């Protein structure tokens, strides 16, 4: 397929590397969001961290 599009081997290699980096970044950000969401849910269930409970 790359030869059909006229892409050189270095371009294909660069695109492949970039795709892997973006995939790893996406996985990292999804895991980070899940951890933050889980922490907020735990705080909510334990009744901590709400502004109304301190006032």
What is d(CA 9, CA 49) in angstroms, rounded to the nearest whole number?
54
**Over the chain, what is the mean pLDDT?**
86
**pLDDT greater than 50 at residue 55:** no
> Would you place residue 6 in the very low, low, confident or very high pLDDT band (cuts 50, 70, 90)?
confident
At residue 31 the predicted structure's pLDDT band, cuts being 50, 70 and 90, is very high
Tokens of 21: 């980096």
For position 54, what pLDDT does the model report? 53
């Amino acid at each position: 397929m790359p030869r059909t599009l006229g892409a050189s081997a270095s371009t294909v290699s660069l695109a492949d590397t970039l795709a892997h980096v973006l995939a790893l970044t996406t996985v990292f950000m999804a895991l980070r969001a899940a951890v933050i969401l889980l922490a907020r849910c735990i705080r909510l269930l334990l009744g901590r961290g709400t502004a109304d409970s301190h006032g």
